[in-house]
Structure 1
Amino acid sequence: MASEQQPIHVIGGGLAGTEAAWQIAQAGVPVILHEMRPLQASPAHHSEELAELVCSNSFGAQATDRAAGLLHEELRRLGSIIIGKADEHAVPAGGALAVDRGQFSQDLTRTLAEHPLVELRRNEVTAIPTDSIVVLTSGPLTSAALAEDLQRFTGMAYMSFFDAASPIVIGESINHEVAFFASRYDRGEAAYLNCPLSREQYLHFWQELCQAEQAELKDFERETAKFFEACLPIEEMARRGEDTMRYGPMKPVGLFDARLGDFKDPANRDKRPYAVVQLRQEDKAGQLWNMVGFQTNLRWGEQKRVFRLIPGLENAEFVRMGVMHRNTFINSPELLDASLQFRSRATLFAAGQLVGTEGYTAAAAGGWLAGTNAARVARGLDPLVLPATTMMGALFAFISSASPKHFQPMPPNFGILPDLGQRIRSKPERYGAYRDRAFADLAAWHTSLDGSAPGLLVNA
C-alpha cells in the first residue's frame, strides 16, 4: 500500500515544491514537504504560506500564442495544482493571469496540509537526505547550510544574479482624477490603472531616479552584482539612457485616457501621454496595486520621494516597498538530465529557480515534472522526458544541454522550441503554429504513456 512506502522528501515550499509534493501525493506516494519558514525567515518572503509569490502577482500572458500562456495551458492539461489555484483566485489583469496572492497561497497551504499523504514539516533541512528519494526545490534563497551541502555534493560553486520586487500601493491613495483605467490597445478588460506623464514630467522623474540613493547590497560586493535582464531594477534601467524606460515598463503605446475623447481621433494626438506608469491589481477587492516593472533597490525613503513624483501617486501610501535580493542557481547543464534528475544520483531531483528556469509558471512546470518523476522512480518506473516541441519539454531540454560556460536563467520563450520546418513570416501565425504543434505532441505523448488522466502517469 502507498502508506507503507518510504516517503519522498521535497525540500522547499515554494511554487515548485508545492507542485511537486501535490503530484507525488496524487500518485499515491507519501511525501514530506519541508519548509523552513516561519522558523527561519528568508530575505524576500513576507509570510509562512506555501507558494508565496514574492516579486509579482502575475503569471504572465494568458494567450496560448504567447510563451507564458502556452506553458499555462500545458500545465492545465497535465493537472497542475498551481495553475488550477491561480485560475480560481484570478484577479483582473487584462490579458495576463494574475492572482490575489494572499488567497492563492493560503488556499494552497490548506489544500496540501489536508492531503492524507502529505506531511508538512516546518523545519530547516541542512543536508540532502541520502537514504530516500529527494526533490530539491529550495529556490534561489536556499539556506546557507543546505547550500554548502549541495556545493559539496556537486563539487561546484553556485552561480548567481540579483532579482528585485516592485512596491505595492494602497488603492485609495491613488489620485483617480489623474490615473485612468485602460488596457493596451483596449484589449480585454480595462484592468490596469495608468499614470500618464508629459515629457517634462518624465524627464524630471528620470533625472531624480538616476540620482536617487540605492540600498547597500549587504553581504555581497556591489561590483560582482549581475542583474537578470528580464527583471532589471527601474533605476538601473533609467541609467541606461533617457528613453530606456519609455521602451520598457513606461511604454505609452496603445494607452489613452478615454475621458479625453476618442484615441483614434487625430485631433487628440497631442493628448496622448509621453510615458505611462501602470499599476496592476494585487487583490480581488482592488485595495492593493503593484507598480508594474518598478522592481527596485532604492532606499525606502528614496522610493517614496521619487515615486511620488509620478502624476497620480503624489500621495501614494506604500504597503510594501521594493526590495532586491541575490538569487542563486546551479549549473544545470553540467548536473541535470531533462528528467530533472541529477546525473550522479538518480534518486535526487531538482526544480524551480534553483535549476535556472525563470518565472512562476516555469517553477510550477519543474515541480510537476520532478514530482511526477520522483513518484515514478518510487514505483520502479522510468522517469519521463517531455517532448521538446512543448514549452515544458523545450525548457528542460535547454537547461540540461545549454553551454555550461555561459549558462544563465531562462524564461519560457519560443526561441528554445525546435524549428517548425517551414517559413512563416507572420509572427502571430508562427507562434500559433508552435502552439498547435505543442498541443498535438503533448496529447500524443500522453496517450502513448497510458491514455488516461494526467494524474495517473505514474501508473503507466
Structure 2
Amino acid sequence: MTETLHIVGGGMAGSEAAWQAAEAGIPVVIHEMRPKVGTFAHQTGHLAEMVCSNSFRSDDDEANAVGLLHWEMRAANGLIIETADKHALPAGSALAVDRDPFAADVTARLKAHPLVTVDEGEITELPTDGHWIIATGPLTSGTLAESIRAETGTDSLAFFDAIAPIVYADSIDMDIAWMQSRYDKGETEAEQKAYLNCPLTRDEYEAFIDALLAADKTEFHEGETAGYFDGCLPIEVMAERGRETLRFGPMKPVGLTNPHQPDVKPYAVVQLRRDNALGTLFNIVGFQTKMKYGAQTDVLRIIPGLQNARFARLGGIHRNTFLNSPTLLDDQMRLKSRSNVRFAGQITGVEGYVESAAMGLLAGRLAVAEITGKPLPPPPNVTAMGALIHHITGGAYAKTFQPMNVNFGLFPEVDAKGGRRNRKARYKAYTDRAKAAWQRWLDEK
C-alpha cells in the first residue's frame, strides 16, 4: 500500500504540494485548522486564500524572475498558477486574480481529487513518524510554533522580521561608494573589504533625516504588536529620538577612509553588507523601516551612491514566522533533526504567493520521490525554483537570513550579448538558461 503524505496548512504552498503529490498517485491528507481555528488575517475557510494583495506580480517570463517562476510552475502543471490564469483580471503585464473565485476553485479542485482528503483540525506538535510537509506560513499557530521552536532551538524560529532593504550590487555607484570594513577589521583582504560604504556630508545627512522624518509610514495591523524588539528599531524611530542618533548608530562614520576623497572625513556613512555568496545583493545595515514602499525608494535614493539603486527587496517590520532554513533544512527541504518532516512556503524564508506556491510544488515532488523510492535531486540553481531552494537551504548567510522574493540576484551570473549594461539581454539570457535547465529537471522524474 502506498504511504500517505500529510500536509499541515492549506495555503498556497500546502495546496500546491498536495496537488503535485496526488497527481503523482500519492494519497494526501491536508490538515487545515481553518475555519474551526481562525486567524486575524483570514476571512474564509477556503484553501489558498489570498490574505493580502491579489497579485502574482509580473507575468513577463523573459525579463522578470517572478515571471520566470510562473513559467516554471506552468511547465510543471502547477495548480496554483493554472487557477490564477483561469481567474485573471486585467492588470497590464502583471497576473492579478479575482481572489475569492480563485480560492474557491482551488478548494473545489483539491476536494474533488480522489486521492486528497481535507482534515479540518489543528496540528499542535511536530510529528515523529510518517511523511509530513509543514506549510503553515507566517501565521503558524502558537502551539505548533512552540513545538518547532523546541525542536530547532530558541533562536532558530523568528516571530518578527526586522527587514532591511536589499540592493542589487550592479546598481550601486562605485565612483562614490567604496569597499572597506570598519577599521579594516578581518584577517583576509576579503574580510577587510566586506562592507560597501556610502558617504554623506553634513548637508546630505540633514536632508536625509528631513526626508526620513517626513516619509509616509505604515502602522502595525491588528494582531501584531506595536512594541519593538532589541535589534529591530526602525530607523525613523531612531531619528525621532534625536537628529544625531543615526550618526551614533548604523550611520556612524568612524574607522573608515573614503579612497575617492581620502582627506575628507564623511559626516555619516551608510554601510551595506553582502547578502549572498554570489555578491550580487547587498543589504543596508541597520535600516529596518516602517516607511511605505514608495517612500522608501525616494528616501534611500537620497543617499550618495544609491541614487540609481534598484531594490531586490524593500524593508519592513511585521509578524512573519519563519525558520532559519540555511541552518535547519537540507537540500531536500527536510528538517535535519527530523528527516520525516519537510517544510514549504513562507515558513522556509521565501516571500510572496508565487514563491510560496513554488516551494510547495518542490516539496510535493521531492516527497513523492522519497515515498516512491526514486531519489530526485533539487533543481539546478540556474532555474528560478533552484535559485530559491539553494538560497534558503545554504546559499544565504544564516546570521542575516530574512525572507526573500525571487530575483535574478539569487542566480549565478550569466554572460549575455551586450555585456552587463544591457539588462534586457542579460535577463533574457537568465531565462533562456533557466527554461532549458528546468525542462531537463522535469524530465528526470
Match of residue 438, structure 2, among 442, 456, 459:
442
Counterpart in the other structure of 2:130: 132
Structure 1 distance, partners of 2:222, 2:410, is 36
Structure 2 distance, partners of 1:118, 1:216, is 34
Structure 1 distance, partners of 2:321, 2:66, is 23
Structure 2 distance, partners of 1:70, 1:159, is 29
What's the offset of the Cα at 1:104?
Answer: 0.4
Counterpart in the other structure of 1:123: 121
Alignment of 1:39 with 2:22, yes or no, is no
Counterpart in the other structure of 2:378: 385
The AA in structure 2 aligned to 1:426 is N
The AA in structure 2 aligned to 1:379 is T
Alignment of 1:55-134 (within 5 A): 55-64=52-61, 65-134=63-132
Match of residue 139, structure 2, among 138, 141, 151:
141
Change (3 A) 1:231 1:430: farther
What's the offset of the Cα at 1:154?
Answer: 1.6
Counterpart in the other structure of 2:237: none
Counterpart in the other structure of 1:174: none
Give the TM-score, by structure 1 length.
0.65
The AA in structure 1 aligned to 2:18 is A
Structure 2 distance, partners of 1:411, 1:120, is 29
Structure 2 distance, partners of 1:88, 1:216, is 32
Deviates more, 1:372-381 or 1:110-119: 372-381
Match of residue 426, structure 2, among 415, 427, 430:
430
Counterpart in the other structure of 1:339: 332
SS at match of 1:37: coil
Structure 2 distance, partners of 1:221, 1:35, is 30
What's the offset of the Cα at 1:403?
Answer: 1.3
Alignment of 1:216-231 (within 5 A): 219=225, 221-224=227-230
Q: Which runs of 5+ in 1 are unaligned?
A: 165-205, 248-294, 297-323, 450-456
Alignment of 1:410 with 2:404, yes or no, is yes
The AA in structure 2 aligned to 1:367 is G
Contact 1:58/1:97 (CA < 8 Å) preserved in 2? yes
What's the offset of the Cα at 1:357?
Answer: 0.6
Match of residue 48, structure 1, among 32, 45, 48:
45
Structure 2 distance, partners of 1:74, 1:104, is 20
Q: Which runs of 5+ in 2 are unaligned?
A: 164-212, 235-282, 303-314
The AA in structure 2 aligned to 1:410 is M
Match of residue 348, structure 1, among 325, 341, 356:
341
Counterpart in the other structure of 1:180: none
Change (3 A) 1:84 1:236: closer
Structure 1 distance, partners of 2:219, 2:420, is 48
Change (3 A) 1:67 1:41: same
Contact 1:163/1:326 (CA < 8 Å) preserved in 2? no
Change (3 A) 1:409 1:209: closer
Per-residue CA deviation, residues 117-136 of structure 1 (Å, 9 max, x unaligned), is 11101110001222210001
Structure 2 distance, partners of 1:75, 1:50, is 18
SS at match of 2:111: helix
Counterpart in the other structure of 1:396: 389
What's the offset of the Cα at 1:341?
Answer: 1.8
SS at match of 1:326: strand
- Equivalent pairs counted in the alignment come to 331
SS at match of 1:69: helix
Alignment of 1:252-331 (within 5 A): 326-331=319-324
SS at match of 1:222: coil
> Percent of aligned positions with the same letter in both sequences?
42
The AA in structure 2 aligned to 1:36 is M
Contact 1:162/1:226 (CA < 8 Å) preserved in 2? no
Change (3 A) 1:374 1:231: farther
The AA in structure 2 aligned to 1:348 is V
Per-residue CA deviation, residues 87-128 of structure 1 (Å, 9 max, x unaligned), is 000000111001000000000011111111111011100012
The AA in structure 2 aligned to 1:397 is H
SS at match of 1:63: coil
Contact 1:358/1:411 (CA < 8 Å) preserved in 2? yes
SS at match of 1:32: strand
Change (3 A) 1:421 1:159: same
Contact 1:347/1:374 (CA < 8 Å) preserved in 2? no
Structure 1 distance, partners of 2:138, 2:403, is 11
What's the offset of the Cα at 1:375?
Answer: 1.4
What's the offset of the Cα at 1:232?
Answer: 6.9
Deviates more, 1:437-446 or 1:420-429: 420-429
Change (3 A) 1:325 1:153: same
The AA in structure 2 aligned to 1:148 is E
What's the offset of the Cα at 1:421?
Answer: 4.1
Structure 1 distance, partners of 2:399, 2:383, is 26
Structure 2 distance, partners of 1:45, 1:232, is 25
What's the offset of the Cα at 1:440?
Answer: 1.2
Contact 1:160/1:226 (CA < 8 Å) preserved in 2? no
Structure 2 distance, partners of 1:49, 1:130, is 28
Match of residue 372, structure 1, among 359, 365, 368:
365
Give the TM-score, by structure 2 length.
0.68
What's the offset of the Cα at 1:244?
Answer: 4.0
Structure 2 distance, partners of 1:116, 1:379, is 19
Change (3 A) 1:429 1:222: same
Per-residue CA deviation, residues 393-424 of structure 1 (Å, 9 max, x unaligned), is 01110111121111111110001111214544
Counterpart in the other structure of 2:243: none
SS at match of 1:140: helix
What's the offset of the Cα at 1:335?
Answer: 1.1
The AA in structure 2 aligned to 1:438 is A
Contact 2:161/2:402 (CA < 8 Å) preserved in 1? no
The AA in structure 2 aligned to 1:102 is D
Per-residue CA deviation, residues 347-373 of structure 1 (Å, 9 max, x unaligned), is 211111100011111111100010111
Contact 1:9/1:133 (CA < 8 Å) preserved in 2? yes
